[in-house]
Structure 1
Amino acid sequence: MSSERGRAMMDQVYGEGFSKSLPAETTPMLEKTVEHLFGEIWSRPGLSVRDRRLLVLGATAALGRADLIRIQVQGALAGGDLTAEQLREAVLHLQYYVGWGNGTQVHNGVEAALHAHDEKEHK
């Protein structure tokens, strides 16, 4: 049950069909990610997906991981959680809290995702 709910939530967070891209062979880490993180934590009613995404963006910004920021932004755009304007505003805001180096990585991840999204929309 948690696996089905987790996969459904992954699709809501990262875009329709995302869960189908998961490997057929599972590992304990992947099982817990699907069943617990998405099936139980992301599925809780206390915060919206958008709220949770903003928290993840903030935490990921502190790590300076453009690759992970890009994944979250792609999900935000696919789900309509945030607009390009809101994402760019978030970059500016985070820049001051996570440091210029990490903020630059946030900017890089956001802009890469926006560019990919625009290209996909225009095909």
Structure 2
Amino acid sequence: MGKFDDLPETRRKGLEKMEEVYGFDMSDGEGDFFRYTADHLFADIWNRPGLSNRDRRLFLIGMLVGQRANDVLGIQVPAALKNGELDEDALRELVILACHYDGWPNGSRMNAVVEDAIGKAKRAAGS
């Protein structure tokens, strides 16, 4: 029996996909924001056919860079690294691409997020 089996099917499906995408344990939450996040975004949108999690992640990272959303980028980049969707080289290539298409200052901010995630992953692997 799974830890979400006592929840409605849509919520279970959403929480399981959230764990898969983010790479960390999730728990059920309250309120409309959490409901839309779990039941719609993850149970429905992230489970649609046609794109892999990696495809969705690449697209999302691109949008976040363009929006200067480094707070959310700081969640997505480590998750992509942890889930094996993007390795260190691929993340660093995205930085170079961002610098040239979205401007050097913004690419530099992304670089800080990427290098922080890589450093943390290496330290975690070493312990």
What TM-score comes out, normalization by structure 2 length? 0.87
Structure 1 unpaired stretches of 5+: none
The structural deviation recorded for 1:94 is 1.5
Contact 1:6 1:39 in 2 (8 A): yes
What is the one-letter code of the residue matched to 2:53?
V
Cα deviation code 1:6-56 (max 9, x no counterpart): 111111111042x13xxx551201110011111100111110000000001
The equivalent of 1:68 in structure 2 is 72
Structure 2: distance between partners of 1:101 and 1:65: 13
Are 1:3 and 2:11 counterparts? Answer: yes
Are 1:119 and 2:123 counterparts? Answer: yes
RMSD of aligned residue pairs (Cα, Å): 1.3
What is the one-letter code of the residue matched to 2:13?
R
Extract structure 1 runs of 4+ deviating beyond 3 A. Answer: none
The equivalent of 1:97 in structure 2 is 101
User: How many residues are aligned here?
Assistant: 119
Structure 1: distance between partners of 2:105 and 2:31: 34
Structure 1: distance between partners of 2:10 and 2:78: 24
1:34-113 equivalences in 2 (<5 Å): 34-113=38-117
| Residues 79 and 25 of structure 1: CA distance in aligned 2, closer, same or farther (over 3 Å) | closer
The equivalent of 2:33 in structure 1 is 29
Contact 1:68 1:109 in 2 (8 A): no
What TM-score comes out, normalization by structure 1 length? 0.90
Structure 2 unpaired stretches of 5+: 1-8
Cα deviation code 1:54-89 (max 9, x no counterpart): 001000000123222221111112211110011000
